[in-house]
Structure 1
Amino acid sequence: MKVSIERSALLKAMSRAQSVVERRNTIPILANVLIEAEGNSLSFRATDLDIEVVDKTDAMVEVAGATTVSAHMLHDIVRKLPDGSTVQLSEDMAAGRIEIRAGRSNFSLATLPREDFPIMASAEYDCNFGAKAALLRRLFDKAKFAISTEETRYYLNGIYLHSATASGGQMLRAVATDGHRLACIDADLPDGADSIPGVIVPRKTVTELLKLLSDDDADIAVSVSETKIRFATPDITLTSKVIDGSFPDYTRVIPQSNVKRLEVDAAEFAQAVDRVSTVSSERSRAVKLALDEDRLVLSVNAPDSGAADEELAVAYGDERLEIGFNAKYLLEIASQVDRENAVFMFNSSGDPTLMREGNDESAVYVVMPMRV
């Protein structure tokens, strides 16, 4: 194998590859990226056995071939090369090395045989559809903050992607919850997605996918089976196993009878929560919301460090209510609001609270209260 490639194109491809590869590996080949040169393109394949990313980019191929090399090492080398430089990669099969040259810089890295590199088996997909990157990014980006990090409840360690019936008809829905807060995001159901099986997309896959969805107008080909999900553009293919488990019936958690309505400027609210929670050294310290007619007082009382309160002008016309929330959860939910106002719907100080973005019902958030 002998190829020349622009440093910027190589860095982009290696950045994606090395983020999939785990830093610590008990299987040496999994620390490597598979580089394949053919025609006028290079492909870079990386996997951790649960996720596989394949990135194709243009290159000048003098001699076709394939080899594997340390993903993190190659990424670090390319990252430190000068902007605008051309990188030459040439394999010395007899020595089991790959030579990397750019200007006056020369590197020689050990390789492993391409035959040892595991290729994720291609599955028969039950459902295939296309969607704009902007639609998919909204679904996953707005739901990801609520993914659980508790490994014992592994079935909550991802986003549940499925079709659901809402007031607007059949929707493509993404749901995540950790038992303390829940995000439920709807989008118009793309053509061909009505047969999508409900799957739980793992946290790491969501992180890698969001890097892929940077161009709003890009068309993403989505393929789903009961065990795998694949997202593809003309240059990049991300394939992932889905979490083998049943997502709980989240609809029972979403309040239907909350009638006490608070409308507040989302940015002002988030800034006020952030300010009053400063006096507490514990991120989980409860922030108390005291609601009266068109008035909201946020307060934190931390006996070991101090106290703080702040008053906001709001739209609220129901009976007086005092309720407490984890400051971190409030901030994360408030930060999801793209519109000017956030609408909170309360029932009582002990019941889950529902939050929407203005009158938009396609994004619904639920947060459990804390005792204060």
Structure 2
Amino acid sequence: MQFVCNRKELEKKVQIVTRIIPSRSTKDSLSSILIRTEMPDKLYLYATNIEMNIETMITCKTDESQSFLVSARLFKDIIDSLTSESIIGILEDKTFTIKAGETEYHIPTQNLLDFPLPEEFLPEREIFMKSEILKSAIRKVSPFVDKSNIRPVLSGIFIESRGDEVRLVATDANRLAVKKIHIEDIGSSVILPALSLETFTSADLDEDIVIDFSNSKVRLRSKDITLVTSIIDGNFPQYERVIPSEFVSTIRLDKEMLRESIKRILPISKEEDYAVKFSIKKEKLILSSRSPIGIVFDELSVETEGDEIDVFFSANYITEFLSVGEGIVTIRISGEKDPALFTFDSDPDFIYVTMPMEAE
């Protein structure tokens, strides 16, 4: 069997597929990519980590329909190292040959019998939505899931059905992000692994995508990518309880102004768990930090309303919020020890909540 395809297209699809492959696994087969050709012009890449599986397709020229298994890491490293316009792949016996210009690799294939193939997916309902709506929502909330995996439900994104709207919610127990999107009713709420949604939305998607729901899985589909993920079992925290509704002070300022100010505070604050003191005065905000290596103050002219107050925030938590939006930021303070609410004027359907740090 032989196929010829565009190197850049293959590299792009390999990067997407390998995102879900675990760096360490007790099963060698989960560290592999299934390559499948379909005459006359299709090449499929498939990978799984049991919790989810993904298949992408690229256009190629092939003289035979065939399937074989190779090491995902080795295949990715090889493709990433090449610079030619096209790549030729040849399967002969148990050896896969990769040709690119004057470069030629010969790598062994692996036993297909050990590889977990996908189970049949039987959808109970489906919805259609614009891919850019999903991409934008995932970009807003995915940075705030729990990366520790101690509590599986917090490592996922809660997709909550609210009738005329759907909410995407993420929290790591220290901060909370909620993004509302207006699409057709999904029927019931689910928690999906953040990795599955990040991987799918990292691809070049059609303008319209399809999301299929079954009892225990969700399938996301576009023209040349399909991802199936398990639904995370468990109950998502009652997040609305921590969203404040009463405030003692409000600040409005440009995102870049705040980001640059925090950047100036970091050389000192990084010595004290990145704690930054927000001192809200009339028409100004003073950011400061003190640590054994020094003291820093940075004064900004801002719009203010309400009481003067001092509150400590994590510099990292603020800069991560600033990275997901643009324009004017509004910060509403509930108290020195109470949750604060952050929003962008440019996106009224997105909110971010974080707890203040303990005072020094």
Q: Which runs of 4+ in 1 moved over 6 A?
A: none
Q: CA deviation at 1:360?
A: 4.5
User: In the alignment, does 2:311 pair up with 1:317?
Assistant: no
- Which residue number corresponds to residue 340 of structure 2? 353
Give runs of aligned pairs for residues 265-344 of structure 1, distance below 5 A. 265-282=254-271, 284-302=273-291, 304-338=292-326, 340-344=327-331
User: In the alignment, does 2:52 pair up with 1:51?
Assistant: yes
Moved more, 139-148 or 97-106: 97-106
Q: Residues 262-310 of structure 1, C-alpha deviation per residue, up to 9 Å, x if partnerless?
A: 11111101211121122133473321111111111111011x2111011
- Which residue number corresponds to residue 3 of structure 1? 3
Residues 284 and 328 of structure 1 are in contact (CA less than 8 Å); yes or no, is this contact kept in structure 2? no
Partners of 2:176 and 2:290 lie apart in 1 by 26
Q: Residues 155-209 of structure 1, C-alpha deviation per residue, up to 9 Å, x if partnerless?
A: 11111112226xxxx21210011111100101112x3xx1432111213223312
**Percent identity over the alignment?**
27
Q: 2:238 aligns with which of 235, 244, 249?
A: 249
Residues 36 and 44 of structure 2 are in contact (CA less than 8 Å); yes or no, is this contact kept in structure 1? yes
Partners of 2:315 and 2:140 lie apart in 1 by 18
Partners of 1:195 and 1:331 lie apart in 2 by 33
Q: CA deviation at 1:359?
A: 7.5
Question: How many corresponding residue pairs?
Answer: 358
* One-letter code aligned to 1:4: V
User: In the alignment, does 2:116 pair up with 1:129?
Assistant: no
- Which residue number corresponds to residue 172 of structure 1? 166
Residues 291 and 322 of structure 1 are in contact (CA less than 8 Å); yes or no, is this contact kept in structure 2? yes
Q: Secondary structure of the equivalent of 2:233?
A: coil
| Ranges in structure 1 where 5+ consecutive residues have no aligned partner | none
- Which residue number corresponds to residue 16 of structure 2? 16
Q: CA deviation at 1:24?
A: 2.7
Residues 6 and 59 of structure 1 are in contact (CA less than 8 Å); yes or no, is this contact kept in structure 2? yes
* One-letter code aligned to 1:117: F
Q: CA deviation at 1:226?
A: 4.1
Cα 1:232–1:179 shift into 2, 3 Å: same
Q: Secondary structure of the equivalent of 1:121?
A: coil
| Ranges in structure 2 where 5+ consecutive residues have no aligned partner | none
Moved more, 48-57 or 73-82: 73-82
State the TM-score, normalizing by the size of structure 2: 0.93
Question: Over aligned residues, Cα RMSD in angstroms?
Answer: 1.9
Partners of 1:352 and 1:134 lie apart in 2 by 31
State the TM-score, normalizing by the size of structure 1: 0.90
Partners of 2:117 and 2:272 lie apart in 1 by 43
Q: CA deviation at 1:22?
A: 2.3
Partners of 2:29 and 2:234 lie apart in 1 by 29
Q: CA deviation at 1:124?
A: 2.7
Q: 1:182 aligns with which of 162, 176, 184?
A: 176
Q: Secondary structure of the equivalent of 2:237?
A: coil
Partners of 1:103 and 1:266 lie apart in 2 by 48
Partners of 2:215 and 2:303 lie apart in 1 by 46
* One-letter code aligned to 2:189: G
- Which residue number corresponds to residue 60 of structure 1? 61
Residues 280 and 305 of structure 1 are in contact (CA less than 8 Å); yes or no, is this contact kept in structure 2? no
Partners of 1:369 and 1:328 lie apart in 2 by 12
- Which residue number corresponds to residue 154 of structure 1? 152
- Which residue number corresponds to residue 80 of structure 2? 79
Q: CA deviation at 1:87?
A: 2.1
Residues 354 and 364 of structure 1 are in contact (CA less than 8 Å); yes or no, is this contact kept in structure 2? yes
Q: Residues 77-133 of structure 1, C-alpha deviation per residue, up to 9 Å, x if partnerless?
A: 22222331x32222222xx22122233322211112334321232333333111112
- Which residue number corresponds to residue 356 of structure 2? 369
Residues 284 and 326 of structure 1 are in contact (CA less than 8 Å); yes or no, is this contact kept in structure 2? yes
